[in-house]
């Protein structure tokens, strides 16, 4: 009886985790999967620091490994749970089709395994109506879990492709140095940013999709590529730096409708939502207190202002005051961006300039 109660408990935990991961996917609703992701990521981080050849590539295999591991845990948990449920009934409710029925636990695992995977070997058969129904139930559960796993895999890779496409778009539009000033200058075109509204709105929608896809599929966060332009930290840096420059560098009278537009406000709020909501899920509060590099930020602001002026974009009359506002706004989010970079084992210098690592090599 104790084995059967334990088996039912294991089955329920596994099925609840499948339900919450696949059918009701929200970051905080996982029973096993999110804890498994975080623990496995820490193991991969540890292995990546071992001084052996190729250790720098280990982290890029974490995401695919987690997909396999999650499905493996689901299947093994269900096989074990049903085996514990079946074990006491071997020889009575479930019997061998020929000869004496083995009553050891390995036989229960064997019967549970071929039932869950719907192999239907047939050397052990249920003899009572109750165990016939339980056998059918386990087969249905197995079929459903394998189907759900395939659906989950396809959904994860679809979201991953869209995330990578968005990241590459930002990379090509902001240059190798994550230059939001260059991005902003090119948005101007031949007018007063009238044609930029749609571009800004598109970026905002992609940021919100990125946020929701990471809520729906937390495993996405652990698909960590060696190319830093795919990182969440760099996506957030370019998007929020662009919004911050629009708010602090452009001349308020000349470009007031653009600066105060719903598109720009949505860009800033979408970027902040992305950072702070995901930081609640993946980062501890102790990691959010990051050092500020205000001197570097001021220098970056002045370079961006100079670049904008070279594109005939009017900047704020007093650059010193503009720099103060830029620093104040950037202080709100830069620490979280840096925390994400550290958590995913990216160097900050490479977040700002992905080409630096190539030159270093």
The predicted-structure confidence for 323-352, as pLDDT tens digits, reads as follows 999 999 998 898 889 888 988 988 888 887
Q: Which regions of the chain carry the CATH code 1.10.287?
A: 2-149
Strand pairing class (94-96; 124-126): antiparallel
Q: Name the more confident of 72 and 351.
A: 72
Per-residue confidence band for 203, with pLDDT thresholds at 50, 70 and 90? very high
Residue 228 pLDDT more than 70? yes
Structural tokens at position 182: 């260059």
Structural tokens at position 134: 């339980």
pLDDT, position 356: 46
CA distances from 206 to 38, 167, 215, 235 (A): 25, 10, 14, 10
Residue 66 pLDDT more than 50? yes
pLDDT, position 83: 93
CA atoms of 172 and 346, how far apart (whole Å): 20
**How many C-alpha atoms does 352 have within 13 Å on its Cβ side?**
8
Residue 54 pLDDT more than 80? no
Residue 284 pLDDT more than 70? no
pLDDT, position 87: 92
Question: Which range has the worst mean pLDDT, 14-18, 28-32, 298-302?
Answer: 28-32
Question: Which range has the worst mean pLDDT, 221-235, 271-285, 297-311, 326-340?
Answer: 271-285
CA atoms of 234 and 240, how far apart (whole Å): 10
pLDDT, position 359: 35
- Residue 256: partners with Cβ closer than 8 Å, 6 or more residues away: none
Angle at 79 between CA 75 and CA 81, to 5 degrees: 115
Please give the CATH number for the structural domain made up of 2-149: 1.10.287
Secondary structure (H, E, C), the chain:
CHHHHHHHHHHHHHHHHHHHHHHCCCHHHCCCHHHHHHHHHHHHHHHHCCCCCCHHHHHHHHHHHHHHHHHHHHHHHHHHHHHHHHHHHECCCEEECCCCCCCCHHHHHHHHHHHHCCCCCCCEEECCHHHHHHHHHHHHHHHHHHHHHHHHHHHHHHHHHHHHHHHHHHHHHHCCCCCHHHHHHHHHCCCCCCCHHHHHHHHHHHHHHHHHHHHHCHHHHHCCCCCHHHCHHHHHHHHHHHHHHHHHHECCCCCHHHHCCHHHHHHHHHHHHHHHHHHHHHCCHHHCCCCCCHHHHHHHHHHHHHHHHHCCCCECCCHHHHHHHHHHHHHHHHHHHHHHHHHCCCCHHHHHCCHHHHHHC
- What integer is the mean pLDDT of 38-43? 91
The torsion angle over the Cα atoms of residues 356, 346, 164 and 29, rounded to 10 degrees, is: -170
- What integer is the mean pLDDT of 227-231? 89
pLDDT, position 266: 93
pLDDT in tens, 118-162: 777 678 888 889 989 999 999 999 999 999 999 999 999 999 999
Contact 214, 221 (CB under 8 A): yes
Share of the chain above pLDDT 70, in %: 91
pLDDT, position 357: 45
Question: Which range has the worst mean pLDDT, 227-236, 238-247, 344-353?
Answer: 344-353
- What integer is the mean pLDDT of 181-186? 88
pLDDT, position 139: 92
Give the bridge partners for 90, in sequence order. Answer: 94
Question: Which range has the worst mean pLDDT, 35-39, 77-81, 301-305?
Answer: 35-39
The length of the chain is 361
Which of 148, 161, 182, 128 is CA-nearest to residue 78?
Answer: 148
Q: What is the mean pLDDT of the chain?
A: 87
pLDDT, position 361: 39
First to last CA, the chain: 63
Residue 106 pLDDT more than 70? yes
């Amino acid at each position: 009886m104790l084995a059967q109660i334990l088996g039912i408990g294991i089955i329920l935990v596994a099925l609840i985790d499948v339900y919450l991961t696949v059918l009701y996917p929200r970051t905080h609703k996982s029973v096993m999967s999110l804890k498994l992701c975080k623990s496995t990521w820490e193991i991969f981080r540890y292995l990546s620091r071992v001084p052996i050849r190729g250790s720098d590539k280990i982290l890029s295999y974490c995401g695919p490994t987690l997909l396999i591991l999650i499905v493996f845990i689901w299947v093994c948990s269900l096989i074990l749970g049903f085996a514990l449920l079946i074990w006491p009934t071997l020889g009575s409710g479930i019997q061998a089709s020929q000869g004496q029925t083995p009553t050891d636990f390995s036989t229960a695992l064997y019967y549970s395994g071929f039932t869950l995977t719907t192999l239907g070997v047939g050397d052990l058969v249920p003899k009572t109506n109750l165990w016939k129904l339980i056998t059918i139930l386990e087969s249905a559960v197995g079929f459903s879990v394998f189907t759900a796993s395939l659906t989950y895999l396809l959904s994860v890779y679809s979201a991953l492709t869209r995330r990578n496409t968005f990241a590459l778009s930002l990379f090509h539009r902001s240059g190798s140095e994550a230059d939001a000033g260059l991005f902003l200058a090119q948005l101007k075109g031949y007018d007063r940013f009238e044609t930029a509204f749609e571009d800004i709105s598109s970026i905002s929608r992609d940021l919100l999709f990125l946020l929701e896809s990471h809520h729906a599929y937390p495993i996405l966060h652990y698909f960590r590529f060696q190319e830093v332009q795919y990182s969440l930290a760099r996506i957030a840096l370019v998007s929020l730096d662009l919004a911050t420059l629009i708010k602090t560098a452009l001349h308020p009278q000349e470009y007031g409708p653009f600066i105060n537009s719903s598109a720009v406000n949505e860009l800033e709020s979408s970027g902040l939502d992305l950072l702070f909501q995901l930081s609640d899920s993946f980062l501890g509060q102790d990691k959010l207190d990051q050092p500020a590099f205000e001197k570097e930020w001021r220098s970056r602001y002045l370079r961006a202002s100079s670049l904008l002026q070279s594109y005939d974009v009017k900047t704020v009359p007093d650059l010193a005051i503009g720099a103060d506002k830029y620093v104040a706004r950037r202080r709100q989010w830069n620490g979280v961006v840096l925390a994400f970079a550290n958590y995913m084992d990216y160097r900050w210098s490479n977040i700002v300039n992905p080409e630096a690592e190539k030159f270093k090599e």
